[in-house]
Amino acid sequence: MSVPVINIAQMREWENATWATGQTEAEVIRRVGKRIARRARRLMRADDDILILAGKGHNGDDARAAQEFLDDRKVKLLELLLPDTDLLKLEMRLAEKPALVIDGIFGIGLNRPLAEPWQKIIAAVNAAKIPVLAVDVPSGLNADTGETLGAAIEAAVTLTVGVPKTGMLAAPAWPFVGRLEVADDVGLIPCSHKSVLNWTLPEDFQNFPPPRPAAAHKGSFGHLAIVAGSLGFHGAAVIATRGAQRAQPGVVTLTTQENVYLVVASQLQSAMVNVWQPETNFPEAIGAVLAGPGLAARDVPEKLRVEVRHWWRDQDCPLIVDASALDFLATGPVVKKFIRVLTPHPGEAARLLNWPTQKIQADRVTALREISKRFGDCWVVLKGHQTLIGRSEGEIFVNPSGNPHLAQGGSGDLLSGFIAGLLAQPALQVDVAKTLRYAVWQHGAAADKLEVARANWTIEDLANEIGNAR
């Protein structure tokens, strides 16, 4: 299940509670070393060199422990204890161009600005432009605040121990943390701390979605209605529909503008495609509605904007609103507790709140809460690095999957379609939070899978892959 995001003091309490049970620090360090080694293997080829940088604390012990589990690889260990004299040794090792550096110089116990010699050590590692796997926290980063203590390692991947620490999710920390992953199976007892922020783990989705009954038919899995596409933005309607189809609802019907009907319909086979007309009436058995992808052109009628506001207030099935249709909505409560989902990226969130985008990114949790409050306690998927899923109150979940190559046009349209395709299915409306988390995780995990296979994948490739991650 998901794990809480905690601070340094809570991490220390958790460790002490573990030692009180008889578990030894040495055993936990050994297991952490094994996880570091496992992750290092995935970042390099069999004949690549690895350079381990180990400081004098437990972080260094973790990094040293990895060497035992890399005995079939070319590994060099450099102890960094005296920065004034060790800098030259480091520069010589970096000049050998190892394929990977494992950073175990400083851990979460660092609580003061680094002296200049240590800053030079870190600057030398960063200047080498060699991929870095940071152990627990990038050396020099404050794990509580996300601020640098004079300098910090710029990691490609940070493998944090047990659970994420609060500072690693702060926007200023992102360039140093890189991809954040959690080593949660290292021998610590279950964490007793609770947190508003919770980190999703892939194991959360074992046996989800649930198996389909043998005698099921298409009526068992809902009818999704999509209202999307306009002149110049017809591709968004197609991509959103394909995303919905990958979620496998029983039926998908796309309603689009008349001037793009032919080009949209010609690209879709199993989805039904209609021309939008005023006073759109959905069938009584409709499972969910998605509105927004590609409704960005000036020829979107005012009547359609009014209808979206009406659906938001009165439509009794789940309604997912994305892209330009976010701007069609009026603030205020939703009279009934229908399932409502908004999926803004940071720029759209800034428009919804009339805040600068920088303010959204500086405090994404508050932004999500405020959007949900203004729009009737709806669910919010605040997209971007470490996408957040939550509402005005209660737990907020952080998504771990995905990579920067998701920053392509159509990525968000595909996600909104996939979300809507899932929520059209009655069985997946029972736990909305889990369904949303699964959709976001699948979207990112599919991108991660593609990134391993090829460097130049497109959103069309992602549309073919989404839903396959396990």
Please check the confidence at residue 336 and state whether its pLDDT lies above 80: no
Per-residue H/E/C for 244-266: HHHCCCCEEEEEECHHHHHHHHC
Does pTM top 0.75 for this prediction? Answer: yes
My answer on whether 174 and 238 are in the same domain is no
My answer on whether 180 and 241 are in the same domain is no
Model pLDDT for residues 160-213, shown as the tens digit of each residue? 999 999 999 999 999 999 999 999 999 999 999 999 999 999 999 999 999 999
Q: Which of 186, 139, 185 is nearest to 158 (CA)?
A: 139
Predicted confidence at residue 281, as pLDDT, reads 78
- How far apart, in whole angstroms, are the C-alpha atoms of residue 353 and residue 369? 11
Predicted confidence at residue 337, as pLDDT, reads 80
**CATH code (residue 108):** 3.40.50.10260
Mean of the pLDDT values across residues 148-154? 97
Domain holding 397, by residue range, is 218-465
Please check the confidence at residue 278 and state whether its pLDDT lies above 90: no
My answer on whether 20 and 63 are in the same domain is yes
**CATH code (residue 295):** 3.40.1190.20
Burial pattern 179-190, b for ≥16 Cβ within 10 A else e, equals bbbbbbebebee
**Where among 192, 209, 241 does a domain terminate?**
192
Q: Please give the C-alpha separations between residue 170 and each of 151, 283, 386, in angstroms, as whole numbers.
A: 16, 45, 10
* Residue 256 included in any domain: yes
Please check the confidence at residue 341 and state whether its pLDDT lies above 90: yes
**Where among 176, 192, 208 does a domain terminate?**
192
Model pLDDT for residues 94-108, shown as the tens digit of each residue? 999 999 999 999 999
pLDDT confidence of 335, banded at 50, 70, 90? low
